[in-house]
Structure 1
Amino acid sequence: MFVSFLVPIYNVEKYLKKCIDSILIQTGCPFEIILIDDGSTDSCPDICDQYQAACPDIVRVIHKENEGLLLTRRRGFKEAKGDWFICIDSDDYIDPQLLSTVVDTINHYKCDMVMYNYCYIDDFGNVSGSKLNLNDGMVYEGKKKQLLYEERMTTTNINNMWLRAIHRDIVDIEADYSEIGLRNMCEDAVQVLPLYTNTKKTVYINKVLYYYRKGNGSITSNATLANWRAIHRSFTIEQDYAVLWKIPHNVEQKRYTKQLENIINCIRWLYRDGKNAINMPMKDEIVILKKDSMFEECLKNYDKKYLSTRYNSVCVPFIAFLLKKEKQFLLDAFFKLESRLLKI
C-alpha cells in the first residue's frame, strides 16, 4: 500500500509548515507528499522547495499558474503515484495517527474509501466539533450506500475531499473539470459525487483525525455573492446524480429546501457585505436571481418543515416572496434591520 498526500497551496505561508510537518510524521505505510503551488505570491513557493530539498524521497513540488483549488487538486490526482489518495488543505493539519488509523481500517474492512471525523480550530486555539451524522464503524455498501447518498444530497457535512482516504480506482482521474466553471467554492461538492457513485464499500471511523482551520482568508474561505453561480452549477450537476441514485421524493424536498436557503444566504451576503464580484447594480442582480430556473424550482419543490432553523422557517419564505416580487426597497429594509439585530 502506497499513499499520496495531495496538498493544493495558495498564499498560506502562515500555516503551511505546520500542515506539511503533520504529514511527515505519519506512520503505517510508505507515502509521498505532493505540494501543488497554485501560483502563490507569498513565501509558499520557497517553503515548498525547502521541504523538497530536505526530503527529496518523500516530497514532490509542482509550481503552476493560478487556476483555483479545483484544477489544482485535479492536477495532484494526475501526478500522484499512490494507490490511495488523502487530500489535505494547506492551512489545515492532521492527527499523528491519521495514516495508521486509515491503514488499519483498510486492512480490516477491505474497503475502497475511509471517512473520519474532524474538528474546527481557529488561530486562538479554540476547538469545536463537526456536525457529522455518521455512526462509528458504519459500513456503507450495497443498499446502505443510499444513506450516504441522502446525507450528501441534504447536507454539506460530507462534501469535503479532505474528509476521506480514497482508492485511486474510484477517482475519476481523467475527467475534465476545466469547463465546469468552479474555482474555490463548491468544487468539493462536485468532486465527491463520482466517489460516492463508484465506491463499493465505505467505512466511517469516528475519530478526530483532521483539524480544519476556519475563517483565515485562505483559498476556500472567501465567499461573495458572485459565488452563488458556483452553488447553482453544483446544484445543476447534482440533478443527474439525484436521478442516478434514485433519491426519494422527501429527500428531494430536503435538497430543494437546502438550496433555497443557499440562495437566500447569497442575498444576505450582498446586503451585509456589499460584495458583488461581477460589478452589477444590486437591482439587476436581484432580477437575475429571481428569474433563474433554479430559484423557481426551489420555490416549487421546497418544504417549509425542512428549513434548518425556526428563524429561517419564517424568514426564508418571506425573503423568497420579496425576491419573487422584486421588492428591492423592502429587501433592503429587512436586511438592514436583520444586520442591526445581529449586532445587538
Structure 2
Amino acid sequence: MKLLTITVPSYNVEKTLAATLDSLCVEEILPKLDIIVVDDGSSDSTPEIAQKYAKAYPESVRVISQPNGGHGSAVNTGIKNAQGKYFKVVDGDDRLDKDGFIALVNGLEKTDADLVASNYKKVLPDGSDAGTMEFTGVEYNKIYSFDEIPVDGTIYFGIHSSTFKTEVLKASGIELQHHTFYVDAEYAVLPIPAVKTVLFLKDCVYLYTVGAAGQSIDMANFVSRYDDHLRVVKRVASFANECDCSDKHREYIYSAAAKLCFTQYMLAAFYDENLERGQVRARSFDTWLKGDPKLYNALAKSLYIRFLRATDFRFLPRSVKLKSAVRAVSRAFKRLTGRKKLTY
C-alpha cells in the first residue's frame, strides 16, 4: 500500500502539467507516492505529457483518461482509484513546494489522523509570492479531536490545505457534482462528518497559482458562472441540515455554508456589472435562504447584507473596493434614512 495518493485533475493543461508533475516526482519520497493524472477529456497534449511521466515512473504514476466531466468528476475518479493511505488533490496548473512536500510525507508516516491540514502559498503565474495562508489559533504537530477545534470562522479545511485519510473519504461517500465549477467547497465539507481527528502542520505544501487568465476565480468568470456556485451553495446548505453528525461537525459545516452564502450575495449584489440582473439574483437568493432560518440569520451579522436586505437590494454599490464597501454602505444608509446605525 502506498502512503499517499495524489490525484491531478487535468483538462487542457499542456502548458503547466510538466511543472506540476516535476514538483510531485520527488526522488526522495517517490516510492511512497501513488500519483494519478486524471485526463478529463483534454483536447490538447495533456494525455501525452502525462503518459511520459507514467512511462518514466511506472511504479508511482498512473494516467486515467475519461470523458469530460469537470473538476468534481476528476476528483471522484481519483478517490475511487486511490491506493494510498492518504489522499490529496493537486490541480494540473499548481505545484507543491519540495521541502514542504517532503515534510508532509514524513508527517503522514508518523500519524494516523483522519485529516492532515497544512499551510499553503498563493503564487502568481511567474512564480512570485502572493501571500501565505496559515492556520491560526491551533498548535502545530498536535493531533486534535474534531470537537477541540475552534469553530469561529477562522478554520477552514480547503482543498489546497487538506490531506484526508483515503478510507475517510470513501466512508463519507463523497461524490462531487459533475460539470460544475467551485466544487472544491463541497470537498471541504462533505467528508467532515467522518473526520474524528485532525493534525495541523506548519510547513507550506501547496503552491496555488492565482492571477492566471481564464481562471474560475477571475471575477468576471465567477459572475458568469453564478449558477454553478449557487448549485454548490444549495448542496452544502442542504448537507448542513441533513447530515448525520455531531453538533461540532454541524457547526463547522454551517460556518462553511455561511461563507459560501456571503460570496453568493456578493456575486449578485456587488460584482455583477449588470445591475438589474444583480438585483434579481440577490433578491431571489435572499428569498431562497429564508427557508433556512439559521443560515439566514447568520448572514444578518454582516452590516452589508443587512443593509441590502433593508433596501430590498436596490442599492448595489460599484466603483469601490470590497474593503471599503461597508463604509460606503454605512454612509449611504445614513443619507437615505437619517439613522446612525443599521439595525432591525
Give the structure-1-normalised TM-score.
Answer: 0.76
Give how far 1:252 is off: 9.1
Q: Which residue of 1 aligns with 2:164?
A: 166
Q: Decide which moves more: 250-259 or 191-200.
A: 250-259
Shift of the 319–283 alpha-carbon distance from structure 1 to 2, 3 Å rule, reads closer
Residues 8 and 91, structure 2, Cα contact 8 Å, conserved in 1: yes
Q: Which residue of 2 aligns with 1:192?
A: 188
In structure 1, what residue type is equivalent to 2:9?
P
| Cα distance in 1 for residues equivalent to 2:61 and 2:252 | 43
Q: Which residue of 1 aligns with 2:6?
A: 5
Instruction: Work out whether 1:47 is the aligned partner of 2:29.
Output: no
In structure 2, what residue type is equivalent to 1:335?
P
Shift of the 303–261 alpha-carbon distance from structure 1 to 2, 3 Å rule, reads closer
| Cα distance in 2 for residues equivalent to 1:169 and 1:202 | 15
| Cα distance in 1 for residues equivalent to 2:246 and 2:13 | 38
Instruction: Work out whether 1:132 is the aligned partner of 2:132.
Output: no
| Cα distance in 1 for residues equivalent to 2:100 and 2:321 | 41
Deviations 1:59-90 (A, max 9, x none): 21111111111111010111222222222111
Deviations 1:106-144 (A, max 9, x none): 343443332211110002333111143243223212632
In structure 2, what residue type is equivalent to 1:164?
S
In structure 2, what residue type is equivalent to 1:320?
R
| Cα distance in 2 for residues equivalent to 1:159 and 1:61 | 27
Shift of the 286–303 alpha-carbon distance from structure 1 to 2, 3 Å rule, reads closer
Instruction: Work out whether 1:208 is the aligned partner of 2:210.
Output: no
Instruction: Work out whether 1:120 is the aligned partner of 2:109.
Output: no
| Cα distance in 2 for residues equivalent to 1:21 and 1:60 | 14
Specify every segment of 5 or more residues in structure 1 that has no aligned partner in the other structure, as ranges: 308-312
Q: Which residue of 1 aligns with 2:334?
A: none
Deviations 1:33-56 (A, max 9, x none): 110011123332222222223333
Higher relative contact order (CA 8 A, sep 6+): 1
In structure 1, what residue type is equivalent to 2:140?
D
| Cα distance in 2 for residues equivalent to 1:250 and 1:190 | 16
What is the RMSD of the two structures over their aligned residues, measured on CA atoms? 3.5
Taking the TM superposition and a 5 Å limit, the aligned residue runs for 1:12-51 are 12-28=13-29, 29-51=31-53
**SS state at 2:39 partner:** strand
Residues 116 and 208, structure 1, Cα contact 8 Å, conserved in 2: yes
Q: Which residue of 2 aligns with 1:233?
A: 235
Shift of the 97–318 alpha-carbon distance from structure 1 to 2, 3 Å rule, reads same
Shift of the 317–87 alpha-carbon distance from structure 1 to 2, 3 Å rule, reads same
Taking the TM superposition and a 5 Å limit, the aligned residue runs for 1:1-344 are 2=2, 3-28=4-29, 29-127=31-129, 128-133=131-136, 134-141=138-145, 143-144=147-148, 146-147=149-150, 150=151, 154=153, 158-172=156-170, 175=173, 177=175, 180=177, 183-185=180-182, 187-216=183-212, 217-218=214-215, 222-224=221-223, 225-226=226-227, 227-241=229-243, 244-247=245-248, 258-268=259-269, 271-272=272-273, 274=274, 284-294=280-290, 297=293, 300-302=296-298, 307=302, 313=303, 315-322=304-311, 325=312, 330-331=314-315, 334-338=316-320
Specify every segment of 5 or more residues in structure 2 that has no aligned partner in the other structure, as ranges: 325-344
Residues 69 and 184, structure 1, Cα contact 8 Å, conserved in 2: yes
| Cα distance in 2 for residues equivalent to 1:230 and 1:85 | 22
Give the structure-2-normalised TM-score.
Answer: 0.76
Residues 4 and 85, structure 1, Cα contact 8 Å, conserved in 2: yes
Deviations 1:252-285 (A, max 9, x none): 996676455223212146523x59xxxx966654
Residues 159 and 187, structure 2, Cα contact 8 Å, conserved in 1: yes
Deviations 1:280-339 (A, max 9, x none): 9666544532421357736851266x54xxxxx3x33222323xx3x5xx33xx434547
Residues 22 and 96, structure 1, Cα contact 8 Å, conserved in 2: yes
In structure 2, what residue type is equivalent to 1:106?
L
Give how far 1:58 is off: 2.4
Q: Higher helix proportion, which one?
A: 1
Residues 253 and 303, structure 1, Cα contact 8 Å, conserved in 2: no
In structure 2, what residue type is equivalent to 1:136?
Y
Residues 254 and 303, structure 1, Cα contact 8 Å, conserved in 2: no
**SS state at 1:302 partner:** helix
Aligned residues: 314
| Cα distance in 1 for residues equivalent to 2:323 and 2:133 | 27
